[in-house]
């Protein structure tokens, strides 16, 4: 993923409630071009450590099939509606948002 598609350090800092040093480290980790499923999970685990999260979890989609996830893999921040770093398996991109808001907005998918 190219860094031009990622939120700015200031935006990440504001949304995630962290200082700019942590936000810069998060942005750097997300910008690394390692995108197998295992590498994405490893990237999210690293982000979880940086943000003092509670690990990485998966919100399944109604569209999931055997071997093909289309849900959301995200850093658990302890609150469904707290902004976090999410990997959207359907759109194949990282986003900074609350996974609860995405699930509510995309009712046909979840």
CA count, 13 A, side-chain hemisphere, 75: 25
Query: Per-residue DSSP letters for 22-84?
Result: HHHHHHHHHHS---SHHHHHHHHHHHHHHHT---EEEE--TT-BTTB--SEEEE--SSTTS-E
Question: pLDDT (tens digit, 9 = 90+) per residue, 71-110?
Answer: 999 999 999 999 999 999 999 999 999 999 999 999 999 9
Distance between CA atoms of residues 44 and 74, nearest Å? 7
Provide the residue ranges of all domains of the chain, joining segments of one domain with +.
3-105
pLDDT at 27: 96
Q: How confident is the model at residue 3 (pLDDT cuts 50, 70, 90)?
A: very low
The CA-based dihedral angle spanning residues 48, 52, 55, 57, taken in that order and rounded to the nearest 10 degrees: -70
Question: pLDDT (tens digit, 9 = 90+) per residue, 25-79?
Answer: 999 999 987 678 889 999 999 999 999 999 999 999 998 887 678 999 999 999 9
In whole numbers, what is the pLDDT of the chain averaged over residues? 92
């Amino acid at each position: 993923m190219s860094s031009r598609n990622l939120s700015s350090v200031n935006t990440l800092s504001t949304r995630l409630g962290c200082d700019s040093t942590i936000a810069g480290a998060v942005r750097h980790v997300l910008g690394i071009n390692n995108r197998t499923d295992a590498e994405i999970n490893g990237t999210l685990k690293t982000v979880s450590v940086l943000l003092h999260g509670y690990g990485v979890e998966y919100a399944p989609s109604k569209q999931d099939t055997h071997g093909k996830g289309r849900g959301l893999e995200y850093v658990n921040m302890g609150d469904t509606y707290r902004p976090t770093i999410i990997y959207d398996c359907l759109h194949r991109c990282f986003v900074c948002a609350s996974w609860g808001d995405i699930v509510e907005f995309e009712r046909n998918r979840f």
